[in-house]
Amino acid sequence: MFCWHKALRPIVALAPMAGVTDASYRQLIKKIAPEVVVYTEFLSTDAIHYGAKKTLQMLHFDAAVERPFIVQVFGKDPEHFLSAAKVIEDLGADGIDINMGCPAAKVVSSCHGSALIRNPDLAAELVHSTKKAVKIPVSVKTRLGWDRVETLIPFCERIIAAGAEALAIHGRRYCDKFSGSANWEPIYALKQALPHIPIIGNGDIASAADAVSKIGNLDGVMVGRGTFGNPWVMAEICEALHRKADSCQLSAISFQDKIPFILEHCELAVALKGEKRGMLEMRRHLASYVRGQPGAAEMRAQLVRAEKIEDVKAVLCV
C-alpha cells in the first residue's frame, strides 16, 4: 500500500490539471520519468456519488504504469466525499487528494476549491469524512491563503488534525490567481511548523534548476504548467533531485528524439478517447510541443487542425 511517509524522497509529482492530466498524459510522463507521482484531473465528488458516466471514465488508469496513482477530488458535501472515496478506493487508486486551492471563479462561487480556505470547519469535515471511509492515504492541495499568508499554518494544522497525511502547497494566495511570482517562503515555514508531515511545494517550476533552488527543507516538488510542451523536464528534475546531478550538466533531448514520444502521446490519447476526440484534445499539446522550433508557427497552424496521427507524422516529417 502506498504511503506518503515512505515515498521516495524528494517526491516529484505531476500537478493535477483540468483538461491536461488524463490517462494518456500521465502514462507519457511515467514513461519519461517513472519516479513521478501522478494525479488525475480534479473530479467532482458529487458526480462520482451519483455515478456520472463521464467522470467515472476519467478514473480509468493503467495500474501497470501509473502507480502511485492519486485521484484528486473537489466538492463540499461530506456525505458525497464519503461515498466517492469508497468508489475511488474500490477502483484501486493509491490515494485521494482534496482540492482546496483551485481559484477558478466557477469553482470558488460554488464553495469548492480555494473557497474552503475561508471555511476551515468544512475543510476539516471533508477530510474527516474522506479519511474515515477509506484505508488509502488522504492528502490536500491548497494555497498560501485567501488573501493573507498568516492563515496557512493554522489552516493546515486543522486539516492535518482531521486526518490529512500530506500537503501540497501552491505558492500563491487565492487573490493572486496565477499572477506574480510564487512565494515559497511560507511553505518552508509550514514545514518547520509541521516537520513530521510530508509537504510538497508547487509553483513556477519550469526546469531542474528551479526545482533544485526551490525545494529547500521540503519533501518534494510538484510541477504543472512547466510540463506543457516539455514533459521531459520531469526526467531532468528527477535526475537533479534524486541523483544530486548538476542541473546545468543535464543534456537536453533533441527535437528529433522527442518525436517518438509525441507520437506515442497521440496513440495513447486515441486509444483512450477514440480518434476524433483524442486528436481534438491533443491539439493543444501538439502546439506546445513545437514551441521554439524552426518553422514553429507554420507547424502549429497545421497541427491544430490534425485529425489523425498520420497528419501529425506528415507535419513532423516522420
Q: One-letter amino acid identity for 24?
A: S
Length of the chain: 318
Amino acid 245: pLDDT = 54
The pLDDT of residue 121:
97
Q: Give, for all 318 residues of the chain, the pLDDT tens digit.
A: 899 999 999 999 999 999 999 999 999 999 999 999 999 999 999 999 999 999 999 999 999 999 999 999 999 999 999 999 999 999 999 999 999 999 999 999 999 999 999 999 999 999 999 999 999 999 999 999 999 999 999 999 999 999 999 999 999 999 999 999 999 999 999 999 999 999 999 999 999 999 999 999 999 999 999 999 999 999 999 999 987 655 445 557 899 999 999 999 999 999 999 999 999 999 999 999 999 999 999 999 999 999 999 999 999 986
- The percent helix, strand, coil of the chain (3-state, each to 5) is 50, 15, 35
Q: Determine the Cα–Cα distance for residues 34 and 317; give it in Å rounded to an integer.
A: 29
Q: How many whole angstroms from its chain centre is CA 197?
A: 19
Q: What residue ranges define each of the domains in the chain, with the CATH number in brackets?
A: 4-249 (3.20.20.70), 255-315 (1.10.1200)
The pTM (predicted TM-score) of the whole model is 0.95
111 is catalytic: no
List 102, 156, 238, 266, catalytic entry: 102
Question: What's the pLDDT score for residue 209?
Answer: 96
| Predicted local distance difference test score (pLDDT) of residue 247 | 46
What pLDDT score was predicted for residue 248? Answer: 47
Q: How many C-beta neighbours within 10 Å does residue 284 have?
A: 15
- φ/ψ of 13, rounded to 5, equals -125, 145
* pLDDT value of position 250: 53
Residue 283, phi then psi, degrees to nearest 5: -60, -40
What pLDDT score does 253 carry?
85
Residue whose C-alpha cell reads 461515498 in the numeric block: 83
